[in-house]
Amino acid sequence: MSITRKQKGIAIISVLFTMVAGIGIYNYIQYLKQYEVGIQEPIKNGLPFEIQKFNTEEGLVFHRPNGTHIEIPANSIVDKNGKEVKGEVEFRFREMHKASEIFLSGIPMQMNEDRTKHLQSMGMVELRVFKAGEELALKEGKEIGIDVATENKPDNNYDLWYLNNDENWEQNGVFKTVTNDRRDLALSNLPSPNKPKKPVEDILFQLASDKNMPHLKVWNGVDWSLSPGQDNKKLYRAMRINWDKIDIQLINKRNKLYRISFSAKNKDHKGNIFSESISVLATPNVKKKDMKKILAQYEEDLNSFAEVLKNREIEEDRLLEESAMLNSFSSNGFGIYNIDKLENTKILAKVDASFDFEDDINAKVNKIKIIMICESQNTVLTYNAFDWDELPILDDDVELVAALPNGTFAYVSSDSFKVTVRKTELSPYFENKRHFRTSKMSSEKLKALMIGKNEYS
């Protein structure tokens, strides 16, 4: 049977259609397998920026309670065309020290060209400047001073990394770990009293007032007698220390007996902060009529000075909240900087993972990603559904999060992850199938959970 020209044309069209459809399907599958590059926030504004306005002609000194410190020089901000910007601009800043904070920021930690490598963070900062919604830049030749708070000193494997174009990590300059001199200097400059006079042989002593202890003024020149039966060495030690606070309290009116309490916060030879206090019992050698005037004036001065003492203690506690160490460096631009070490992803084993939400959702077609929040590694790893048959297990201090098409999230807690993975039963040589049951939660609930973890830590 001969084939007509029309039939040949239909056959060719069918073949071409099949080829085009096949290419289209292939390209779509490749699209589904691809990983997005750059910042991918799982929750919009999940880790919000701190915002502070400043005048470009004055520059900015930005200091956080943990000791992180940023200095932007004056006359250093330009627009996209390189023209200097004058007047008020908006500085936006956030920092990430925990894996849960990195997760909320959406900042990638894997290398685009080799996803078997990831960065392990020792502190990351993001800084931007805007005016009227336009992102601005740093003038060429200018530098920003950046000190990032750190709890631990990084070893020699850590480098300074920069997220170029907000997409690709590259090494960028050097950093050094330094002591927080600003904190130590501020602590040393807190008001402290002059050393009291050394007592004479018959255990008489005086208390001296100064601008830091104005409430003691009424007692200037008054001799105090140490009450019998006390350890004289305690008083001698009290006379040798610069005290933060001296309090005088009447405990026996008839016998004119007072308790004098000395207290201070000091550093030992290792730089550790410790509190010290001493109290003694003593009697002032003054006439009764003079004592009445002294007591009235003392109460008045003590009440007015109470607020000064309170503010000093608040400031001291605030300073002690700052980190004792800083990772310090200079940058020639805004963006994201990270104190990191590049790690080959050290895998205990791989699991063929499945999830309960797959009963209702095709994870590959819907391009669902599993985000691994690795607290011990202080990093975040992302895997799409095509890689779940070989999901790497680094350790079991891990949480899993998946964004579902309906706007909710599937969440696996660290405890649930441990129970499901059963690390001791994993084998690097055999197939490890694991089925994860998840908790469904809204973006608000997930954000609150992550922020709560950061505040607790």
Out of 291, 312, 344, a domain closes at 344
Out of 310, 344, 378, a domain closes at 344
Q: What is the pLDDT of residues 404-437, one digit of tens each?
A: 999 999 999 999 999 999 998 988 888 899 999 9
Q: Using CA atoms, how far apart are residues 406 and 366, in angstroms rounded to an integer?
A: 11
43 and 172 together in one domain: yes
The DSSP bridge pattern shows strands 439-441 and 398-403 to be: unpaired
- Residue 30 located in a structural domain: no
**Number of folded domains in the chain?**
3
The amino acid that residue 274 corresponds to is F
What's the confidence (pLDDT) of residue 340? Answer: 92
- Residue 340 located in a structural domain: yes
Q: Using CA atoms, how far apart are residues 432 and 188, in angstroms rounded to an integer?
A: 58
372 and 384 together in one domain: yes
Q: Using CA atoms, how far apart are residues 336 and 6, in angstroms rounded to an integer?
A: 63
List, as one string, the DSSP characters of 95-139.
Answer: EE-SHHHHHHHT---B-SS-TTEEEEEEEEEEEEEEETTEE-EEP
- Residue 243 located in a structural domain: yes
- Which residue, among 230, 219, 235, has the nearest Cα to 286 in the 3D structure? 219
227 and 300 together in one domain: yes
List, as one string, the DSSP characters of 143-197.
Answer: -EEEEEEESS---TT-EEEEEETTTEEEE-S--EEEE-HHHHHHHHTS--PPPPP
334 and 302 together in one domain: no
53 and 158 together in one domain: yes
Average pLDDT of the residues of the chain: 86
Q: What is the pLDDT of residues 167-214, one digit of tens each?
A: 999 998 899 999 999 999 888 888 765 444 443 345 678 888 877 788
- Residue 13 located in a structural domain: no
Q: Are the beta carbons of 286 and 297 closer than 8 angstroms?
A: no
- Residue 309 located in a structural domain: yes
248 and 367 together in one domain: no
Q: What is the pLDDT of residues 209-265, one digit of tens each?
A: 877 788 888 888 888 888 877 877 777 777 777 788 888 899 988 888 999 998 888
What's the confidence (pLDDT) of residue 316? Answer: 83
413 and 351 together in one domain: yes
Domain that holds residue 395: 346-457
What's the confidence (pLDDT) of residue 241? Answer: 78
- Residue 189 located in a structural domain: no
- Residue 437 located in a structural domain: yes
83 and 138 together in one domain: yes
Output the domain CATH number for residue 132: 2.60.220
Q: Classify burial at 64, counting beta carbons within 10 Å of its beta carbon; exposed 0-12, middle 13-18, buried 19 or more.
A: middle
Q: Using CA atoms, how far apart are residues 199 and 158, in angstroms rounded to an integer?
A: 56
Q: Are the beta carbons of 308 and 133 closer than 8 angstroms?
A: no
| Helix pair angle (288-320, 181-188), 10° resolution | 180
- Residue 124 located in a structural domain: yes
339 and 377 together in one domain: no
258 and 211 together in one domain: yes
Q: Are the beta carbons of 252 and 230 closer than 8 angstroms?
A: no
93 and 165 together in one domain: yes
The pTM of the full predicted model, rounded to 2 decimals, is 0.72
Q: What is the pLDDT of residues 17-61, one digit of tens each?
A: 666 666 666 666 667 778 888 999 999 999 999 999 999 999 999
